[in-house]
């Protein structure tokens, strides 16, 4: 799953993180990339949202802070904003890469990042990447996507790249990605699987992409208004090679992203 949770608030900015948890649980997703995740911020009641969701869903988690500010007066924990990965499988390691951020004098951009996790699928490892790219300028996104492709494209493991790319299919910046990664929705002929805005979706800007030996069995957009985006899910099977031994290596069961 890829889900921009809008700090747990719907399109009217009504905060309800429990509704986000219900949508994730109902989807059956095993590995989830979340964008716009708060930690200890006043607008979200100072909750560590990734830890809260992981606890309520019984999952492992990793967090990448792209914006990091000192505590508010009377508070002790730093205010952070970024991305997170939730997983039913153990997260072996994680690393957050800060992406290119041009300091524009007018209407400055927000710092963005790429969160990399290594997940153990019962003896087979996967790199799962989660990102949220700039929404203001295509030139900024192109630079950020170049970094994303350089990092994720060099993975020595099968890789899934998910996130809010803030651009539609067919743009020059998305072409950089789809020449290296399989687009799960395009593979299913679903380029019109719109995810934003949640009330009347008119754009596909949320993606699940894969690099390696994967089969795509399905892809869908979940109809919900718990955020200003609708979550997208893909049913992927990672094909593990069977070696000519007396005990064939059997791959893990299908994994929902």
DSSP letters spanning 8-19: GB-TT--B-HHH
Contact 141, 166 (CB under 8 A): yes
Distance CA 53, CA 48 (A): 9
pLDDT at site 104 = 83
Distance CA 215, CA 154 (A): 20
The predicted-structure confidence for 117-165, as pLDDT tens digits, reads as follows 999 999 999 999 999 999 988 999 999 999 999 999 999 999 999 999 9
**Per-residue buried b or exposed e for 43-76, using 16+ beta carbons within 10 Å of the residue's own CB:** ebeebbbbebbbeebebbbbbbbbeeeeeeeeee
Distance CA 144, CA 238 (A): 27
| pLDDT average, residue stretch 64-90 | 95
Percent of the chain scoring above 90 in pLDDT: 85
Element (H, E) at 37: strand 31-39
The predicted-structure confidence for 60-73, as pLDDT tens digits, reads as follows 999 999 999 999 88
Give, in degrees to the nearest 5, the angle at Cα 83 between 135 and 158: 100
Other Cβ atoms less than 10 A from the Cβ of 114: the count is: 24
Task: Work out how many domains the chain is built from and give that number.
Answer: 1
The mean-pLDDT minimum among 16-25, 88-97, 243-252 falls in 243-252
Contact 96, 39 (CB under 8 A): no
Please tell me whether the peptide bond between 99 and the residue prior to it is cis, using omega within 30 degrees of 0: no
pLDDT band at 256 (very low <50, low <70, confident <90, very high): low
pLDDT band at 252 (very low <50, low <70, confident <90, very high): very low
**Better-predicted residue by pLDDT, 255 or 99:** 99
The predicted-structure confidence for 153-210, as pLDDT tens digits, reads as follows 999 999 999 999 999 999 999 999 999 999 999 999 998 899 999 999 999 999 999 9
pLDDT at 78 over 80: yes
Long-range contacts of 168-174 (CB under 8 A, 24+ apart): 168/203, 168/204, 168/205, 169/204, 171/138, 172/138, 172/142, 173/138, 173/141, 173/142, 173/145, 174/145
pLDDT band at 243 (very low <50, low <70, confident <90, very high): very low
CATH number of the domain enclosing 51: 3.60.10.10
pLDDT at 97 over 80: yes
φ, ψ for residue 22, nearest 5 deg:
-65, -40
pLDDT at site 255 = 53
The predicted-structure confidence for 2-14, as pLDDT tens digits, reads as follows 999 999 999 999 9
Which residue range(s) make up the domain with 153? 2-256
């Amino acid at each position: 799953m890829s889900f921009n949770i809008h700090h747990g608030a719907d399109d009217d900015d009504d905060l309800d993180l429990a509704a986000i948890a219900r949508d994730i649980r109902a989807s059956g997703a095993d590995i989830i990339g979340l964008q716009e995740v708060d930690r200890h911020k006043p607008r979200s009641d100072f909750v560590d949202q990734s830890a809260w969701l992981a606890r309520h869903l019984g999952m492992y988690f990793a967090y990448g802070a792209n914006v990091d500010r000192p505590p508010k007066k009377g508070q002790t924990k730093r205010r952070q904003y970024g991305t997170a990965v939730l997983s039913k499988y153990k997260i072996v390691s994680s690393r957050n890469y800060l992406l290119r951020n041009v300091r524009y004098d007018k209407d400055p951009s927000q710092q963005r990042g790429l969160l990399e996790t290594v997940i153990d699928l019962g003896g087979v490892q996967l790199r799962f990447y989660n990102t949220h790219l700039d929404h203001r300028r295509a030139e900024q996104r192109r630079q950020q996507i170049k970094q994303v492709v350089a990092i994720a494209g060099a993975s020595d493991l099968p890789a899934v790249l998910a996130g809010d790319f803030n651009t539609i299919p067919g743009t020059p910046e998305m072409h950089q990605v789809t020449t290296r990664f399989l687009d799960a929705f395009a593979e299913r002929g679903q380029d019109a699987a719109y995810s934003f805005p949640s009330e009347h979706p008119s754009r596909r800007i949320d993606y699940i992409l894969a690099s390696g030996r994967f089969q795509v069995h399905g892809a869908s957009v979940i109809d919900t208004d718990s955020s200003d985006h609708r979550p997208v899910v893909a049913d992927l099977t990672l094909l593990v090679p069977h070696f000519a031994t007396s005990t064939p290596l059997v791959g893990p069961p299908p994994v929902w992203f």
